[in-house]
Amino acid sequence: MVALLQVFHVKDQMHPYAVFALYGIYIYCFLDFLLPCLAALGRALGMGLEPQFHKPYRSASLQDFWGRRWNLMASAVLRPAVYVPVRAGLGAPAGVLATFLVSGLMHEVIAYDITFRLPTGQLTAFFLLHGASVCTEKWCARRWPEYTRLPRVVGTPLVVLFVVGTALWLFFPPLFGDGMDDRFIAEFNALLASLVDAGGTLLQLAGI
C-alpha cells in the first residue's frame, strides 16, 4: 500500500484509467488488510465476525462475484430486505434489478457524504448495468447451458475484465475524478503522519 502511495505522486503522467485502476487495487488491499484485523480483534473480544470478501478475483461468473465473493455483508442485508420480497411479487429478474438499484442509490449517498458533490447517477448506472448483466447471464445459462458453462480459466478473466472495465468507466470517476483523489491522498497522508507520531509518542512513554 505504501508503494502504491508513492506511485500516486506521478499520477499526472499516467492515463486516468490507469490511476483509477491503482485506486481500485489500493482500496481492495486496504480492506483485505483492515477487515482481518477487525476480525482478529472481534475474536479476541469473544465475537465472531463473518468474512466480507472471499477471493473475488477467482469469480467464475457475475453471479458468483456479487452473490458469493464481494461485500458479503451487503449481500446478506439486501437479499432478505429487497430481493426476496420483490421476487415474491414480480419475479427473480425484478428482484435482481431492484437489489442492484438500491445498492446503487446507497453508493450515491455514500459518495455524497465523502465528496460533498451532488450525485451524477454514474454509480447507480454501474449497479444497474451489473444487475442487468446478472439477469442476462442467468437467462443465457438456462437457454444455452452447454455453451455458458465456461471453464474457470476462461470465465474468471472475463469477469475480472468486465468488472474492472465498467468500474473504470462508471464507478471510479465520481469518487476520484476532478481532483478528489488529491484530497483523499492528502487526508490519508495526514492520517498516516498522525499515526506515526502517536506511535513514536507511545514508544517514548514506554522508554523504548
Per-domain boundaries in the chain: 1-49, 56-182
CB 4 within 8 A of CB 20: no
Q: Residue 121 and residue 36: Cα distance in Å, rounded?
A: 32
Which grid cell sits at 162? 468486465
Nearest to 169 by CA among 127, 132, 117, 106: 127
Q: Quick: pLDDT tens for 61-75.
A: 999 999 999 999 899
**pLDDT category of residue 101 using cuts at 50, 70 and 90:** very high
pLDDT of residue 195: 67
Under the banding of pLDDT at 50, 70 and 90, the label for residue 3 is low
pLDDT band for position 207 (cuts 50, 70, 90): low
Share of the chain above pLDDT 70, in %: 87
Half-sphere exposure for 182 (CA within 13 Å, toward CB) = 5
Phi-psi region of 12 (alpha: psi -120 to 50; beta: other; left: phi over 0): alpha
* Cα(190)–Cα(186) distance, integer angstroms: 6
Q: Is the pTM of this model over 0.95?
A: no
Burial class (CB in 10 A: 0-12, 13-18, 19+), 62: buried
Interacting residues of 94 by C-beta distance below 8 A, sequence separation 6+: 86, 87
What is the reported pLDDT for 119?
92
